[in-house]
Structure 1
């Protein structure tokens, strides 16, 4: 798991990167929680997401947003952080030119950034969104949501109540053939302290079901397969 330094829009971005053994393996990008709330690339949720994709043969990158750890720059209300994420994905793709597709995963603020990136990058085939902050940010940009994915949320989340998330995401339209799956995890809070194992099980179950479907869709003949 080598340390990497990525030239970013506001200076260097500090990251961790594990390349896949297969030159055509997909790429995954993991985005951490809010920089002002203690989020960074080494939090338990970020590391778990990273390890899940690594275990499935992805080339995986996680990094610190601007102003976090050794990443240069300062917090930019989400605008700069979206640019950071796009730059990081560009870097990962440049190092994996044969990658068959990409996934994004994010926790809280990182989930909001990840889903914005999803709308801008048609090569992204799926997402994992943990504790999306639907009561803090507008998610109506998902109009419609272009890729299937999982939303995992704790039913004891005091920062983003799960019923608020369900209400907000219930208004999101999706493209034909796209499914947004939701898993509400009993007893879990926003950071999944003491419930990381349950979150890992949720992610594992979803990826093991969804990834074979993505592989089949990518293998289908035709101009453009489902995402």
Structure 2
């Protein structure tokens, strides 16, 4: 199994997007991971994103994480709305061309949960069948009728019970209002960034991939 990611540059709607890809010679799927709020310092190197990437890697998936517009080496300026989903859509189609026969899993942390969910909805509308969507401490209040979440793929929500950034009750209420089967996993004594709990997070994510 390969462990070293390779830097790549992917054409995006506002310019080049900086990314890290891990090719697996016999990958059984591919995972796209979306990072947290760029305005608050979120990048593809965030430790929760890194944990999600390693979980997907250890599950035998090829992986890709990337910086949204205006983050790191990615061109453009922050949008904090549909623009980051536009970036993720460009990356997703690049991946689908590279791995045309592999199922695609989307993972997102915090703001990245919103991005992954919105991307999933777009891809489903385009006829892409997703393997799974995993949203970790997701910014669900950003999801609206204009930007809905994916509806058809298996969905897992992972929410820290002591989250100081995302209101856990908002995530629980959003979960309760969903009109489709899904999984809600609550992580006790855990804050937003999973300090001291990254191993627990991997233990939750890995068997679901």
State the TM-score, normalized to the length of structure 2: 0.89
Secondary structure at the residue paired with 1:170? helix
Q: Which residue of 2 aligns with 1:137?
A: 142
Question: Is it true that 1:162 corresponds to 2:164 in the alignment?
Answer: no
Distance 2:47 2:150 in 1: 31
Unpaired stretches in structure 1, ≥5 consecutive residues: 208-227
Instruction: Kindly provide the CA deviation profile for residues 12-46 of structure 1, in whole angstroms up to 9, marking residues without a partner as x.
Output: 100000112127x3221000001011110011111
Q: Which residue of 2 aligns with 1:104?
A: 106
Secondary structure at the residue paired with 1:191? coil
Q: Which residue of 1 aligns with 2:14?
A: 10
Q: Does the CA contact (< 8 Å) of 1:118 and 1:146 recur in 2? A: no
Deviation at 1:142, TM superposition (A): 4.7
Distance 2:204 2:79 in 1: 32
Deviation at 1:143, TM superposition (A): 7.2
Q: Does the CA contact (< 8 Å) of 1:142 and 1:173 recur in 2? A: no
Secondary structure at the residue paired with 1:152? strand
Matching of residues 7-46 of structure 1 within 5 Å: 7-22=11-26, 25-46=28-49
Distance 1:198 1:115 in 2: 23
Instruction: Kindly provide the CA deviation profile for residues 82-112 of structure 1, in whole angstroms up to 9, marking residues without a partner as x.
Output: 110000011111111232x110000011000
The structure whose Rg is larger is 1
**Quick check: 53-62 or 101-110, which moved more?**
53-62
1:55 to 58, 74, 84: 58
Deviation at 1:145, TM superposition (A): 2.0
Q: Does the CA contact (< 8 Å) of 1:21 and 1:57 recur in 2? A: no
Q: Which residue of 2 aligns with 1:119?
A: 121
Distance 2:99 2:195 in 1: 34
Deviation at 1:169, TM superposition (A): 1.8
Size of the aligned set, in residue pairs, is: 200
Deviation at 1:206, TM superposition (A): 2.9
Distance 1:51 1:139, change over 3 A: farther
State the TM-score, normalized to the length of structure 1: 0.83
Secondary structure at the residue paired with 1:163? helix
